[in-house]
Structure 1
Amino acid sequence: MPYNYKKTAYELVREAAYSIGKDGKPFHYTEVVNYVRTHYPDCPFKDNTIQLHLRGLSKNIESSKRNHPSLYKRAFLIFLGNGRFKLAEGSETEQLEADEDRIDSEAIAKEVMEEYLGVKLEKKKLNIFGKYKEFDLVNIEEAVVGDVKFYTFKGAVPAAQFSAISEYVWLMEKLEQSSGRKWRKFIVGLGNRNTFERYAKQYGPWLGDVEIYFIDDNGKLEIL
């Protein structure tokens, strides 16, 4: 059945999940992507959009309740970790490890930024004046370095989050000094947009050429 541009990403994900996951069978998000690409070859939605919908539609991902409320209210999945899901049964709930959000956010950011920058990126430790620090998105040959931050904080002043972002901005600047070469430097934010907007506004004059990006629920990339 060709894609008629009338089905939403939610409708496509739901159709695929119920087809692949019937009888309680667990499935990987790539199976959903393959289903959509096979049955709807003209589908305009990107892979990371499909993955974001799967997470937003998972009952046991608490952050989805805050970050993807329009999806979460229609949640029908259980997230099993490592990119795997299954159809929810009644009031079934399963605990989600705290770092799963971070891991999946890094994967989404990697895909989006690779497409945007046109280079391959990988997690890598870099030498900064004799000490090694790990960054999430690195291409040494092209002198590209970035780090991913996923925050859900919605309080008055996200001091801890601001401090963590500033640490990596500082480390990227030190990397340039240590290596003696110019790098393209950036932070990629996911989760609560307000945290990253406030950071960019408050610290913008001091960021120099460090770029602050945000990826929204639909996988859209914006520079703040």
Structure 2
Amino acid sequence: MRAVRLIVGALMVVCLAGCTASPSREELAGADAARDGGLRTLGSIEVPTPAGYSAVAERTMDACGSLTSDRGGFDDTHVEGYSCALIRRTVYTANDDSARSDAGARAAVTQLQEAFGLDLSPNVPTAMGFFDADGLRVDMTALVRPAGEVDIDMLPLWHANQLVHSDDGELSGKLSDVGVDAATVLMVTTTVTYFHQLRSSLQP
């Protein structure tokens, strides 16, 4: 029994040492050079303001991290590569009760769904999907959420070696600065992945 515990302990040490290892020089090669292209692409994506809504705050981040998979057991943070993305989240508030209603919120989300070819949820007012712009993958979500959750899940869900290059400030503070006290808001998040390197592609 003691031998089994020692083996299990050794496996855990090996996995934790290898699975969360810092990205290699090969994985990082080209990430910095790709950033300018990502900035141009994000800047070229104009999100129309839905009818009945006003844009009240915006947050932009530039971050990188190790790609991971959740395969259970000892591989919960298995590093599979490296990725960098620019993320822009815009927060909108309804101008009146009509836009604030469920029908008004759904109409706003539908406008964005149609503009970018996103998938529309049949339940809550939510649209999400991805498309190609300048050869880069762009993920977009549009959803109505409580105002207190505007900064939740801002970054892609990397699990290791996360590095934030820039962040112009949390949305919660910006909403407070402009006096927004709405219970719910419309959030549109645009994520441009400008660098994506899998470890498997670096193997000979």
Report the TM range for the smaller structure's normalisation.
Answer: under 0.3
TM-score, L = length of structure 2 = 0.27
Rg larger in structure? 2
Compare relative contact order (CA 8 Å, sep 6+) and give the higher one, 1 or 2. 2
TM-score where L is the length of structure 1: 0.25
